[in-house]
Amino acid sequence: MKTVVFIETNFSGLDAIQYCKHQGYRAVLVTDNFERFKKWFPASAMHKLDLADQVITVADSNDFDQVLAALRAQLSRIDALLTFAEIRTLVAARLCRALGLRGSNPEAIAIAQDKARFRQVLMTRGADDVRCRRIEHIDELPALAGALDFPCFLKPVQGHSSIGAVACPEAAAIPGIVESLRGISEDWISPAFVVEDCLRGELVSVEMLTTGPGRHQVVGVSDRDVVKDSIEIGASFPLQGAQREAIERKAMAALDAIGYDFGASHVEVMLTDSGPHLVEVNTRVGGSGHSVMLDLATARSIVGDWVELCLGQLELPRRLYQHHRGAAWKCFVTADQGVIRRLPSAQDIQRLHGVQHVWLHREQGDTVGGLDSNYSWIVQVMCTGNDQPDAKRNAARAIEFVAGHTVIG
């Protein structure tokens, strides 16, 4: 029996565990905090964690030596090791090297996770021309003001969930921004920041599976619904249109520039007046329902493909991904604060046109505190449609229904 090890997981990785179960593989989950998953995932998805055949608990799943020792002590064989959690991609790649397993180039992941190095490498290799400076602490920003072009964009050198990502429209805004960014004390967020050209336009992402150096299977491009500048509340797939090929080329150029030669990726691109420009590369499958959307549109299991690739079992026709229909996810969020007095049931939402999945991130009786991050999602729907716009309309209608039947106060 094949043994597949997961180092922590995001929402998409739950389906990878389920995929292993269906295929008859042994799924092993390494975690340093099982309780954290209860905060991350809707209650209705938690049962998928129980599908793991074995859970290995370590004090710190980001500690290479510790995880390696635990794996060697507790498993007699490992056929594949991967992660869906952004914060564990580097350690997973290093573990693959140490264990002689198929995995990504750790150096490429290190570049992707350092937003200053990422910009510098793209510039040097001719993959993009977004200018960027690094400051070691946000307090260095005022001294730079005279040398900056406005608007500019600030974000932590190492970050996630758009924490600390803000546009700075003019020099006069600097004191307020310094004040607000000085207070960040989140795990995995660096005190160093990048100050870069501000990109204006629509945000899209390209999903890919890289099967070897320079060999990328493009799953497709999806759009993104963003509110309050950075809170993601929806996406739809597959985006067509004149710019699609240029977007895909840009994303592939980024992977080649950083040397990402094996594995899944989720590449974020901004469509500006001067063409597509890179925002960031995530060296993993997109989370938050993204992989489910891709599966519905392509009739394949994206997470399953990654597992099979790691096992060396993925058959590679010239083109792996075809688009059979549209798919879209969308969340109900609100700026209202208070107790959720009424919420439509998952069954009622499920009956609406095109709805394939419903995830309740909050329940009746919960208190909601307004709209400030991706943790503000209350209800999420996943819909299909004849094509991307149709799926997007179905998702929008389902969320209108949820909004009309929810009472908060």
Ligand X SMILES: Nc1ncnc2c1ncn2[C@@H]1O[C@H](COP(=O)(O)OP(=O)(O)OP(=O)(O)O)[C@@H](O)[C@H]1O
Q: Which residues bind ligand X (CB under 6 A)?
A: 153, 155, 159-163, 165, 196-199, 203, 230, 268, 279-280
Least distance from Mg ion to the Cβ atom of residue 280, Å: 5
Range 129-158, binding Mg ion (CB under 5 A): none
Query: Which helix (H) or strand (E) segment is 222 a member of?
Result: strand 215-227
Do 112 and 101 meet the contact criterion of CB atoms below 8 Å apart?
Answer: no
Do 3 and 75 meet the contact criterion of CB atoms below 8 Å apart?
Answer: yes
Nearest to 362 by CA among 295, 408, 310, 294: 408
- Under DSSP, is residue 166 helix (H, G, I), strand (E, B) or coil? strand
Helix locations, 277-387, DSSP H: 290-298, 302-311, 346-350
Least distance from Mg ion to the Cβ atom of residue 281, Å: 9
Range 267-286, binding Mg ion (CB under 5 A): 268, 280
Which string of x and - marks every residue 225-264 that binds Mg ion (by CB under 5 A)?
----------------------------------------
Q: Which does 155 bind (CB under 5 to 8 A by kind): Mg ion, ligand X, none?
A: ligand X
Beta bridge partners of 236: 223, 328
The C-alpha atoms of residue 92 and residue 217 are separated, in whole angstroms, by: 22
Under DSSP, the state recorded for 402 is: H
Least distance from ligand X to the Cβ atom of residue 84, Å: 14
Nearest residue (CB) to ligand X, 192 versus 198: 198
Q: Which does 159 bind (CB under 5 to 8 A by kind): ligand X, Mg ion, none?
A: ligand X
Nearest residue (CB) to ligand X, 290 versus 325: 290
Least distance from ligand X to the Cβ atom of residue 97, Å: 25
Number of residues interacting with Mg ion: please give it, by CB under 5 A: 2
Q: Which does 160 bind (CB under 5 to 8 A by kind): Mg ion, ligand X, none?
A: ligand X
Q: How many residues does the chain have?
A: 409
Query: Which helix (H) or strand (E) segment is 143 a member of?
Result: helix 141-144
Strand pairing category for 132-135 and 54-57: unpaired
Q: Which does 153 bind (CB under 5 to 8 A by kind): Mg ion, ligand X, none?
A: ligand X
Do 284 and 86 meet the contact criterion of CB atoms below 8 Å apart?
Answer: yes
The C-alpha atoms of residue 220 and residue 234 are separated, in whole angstroms, by: 16
Nearest residue (CB) to Mg ion, 156 versus 326: 156
The C-alpha atoms of residue 296 and residue 354 are separated, in whole angstroms, by: 12
Nearest residue (CB) to Mg ion, 123 versus 270: 270
Nearest to 264 by CA among 331, 222, 309, 229: 309
Nearest residue (CB) to ligand X, 33 versus 162: 162
Do 137 and 191 meet the contact criterion of CB atoms below 8 Å apart?
Answer: yes
Least distance from Mg ion to the Cβ atom of residue 202, Å: 14
Nearest residue (CB) to Mg ion, 78 versus 267: 267
Scanning 211-219, 265-273, 287-295, 353-361 for contacts with Mg ion by CB under 5 A, the matching segment is 265-273
Nearest residue (CB) to ligand X, 75 versus 270: 270
Give the pair of three-digit tokens for residue 224.
């993104």
Least distance from ligand X to the Cβ atom of residue 300, Å: 24
Beta bridge partners of 374: none
Nearest residue (CB) to Mg ion, 66 versus 161: 161
Least distance from ligand X to the Cβ atom of residue 117, Å: 13
Q: First vs last Cα of the chain: how many Å apart?
A: 53
Least distance from Mg ion to the Cβ atom of residue 279, Å: 6
Q: Which does 203 bind (CB under 5 to 8 A by kind): Mg ion, ligand X, none?
A: ligand X
Using CB under 5 A, list all residues that contact Mg ion: 268, 280
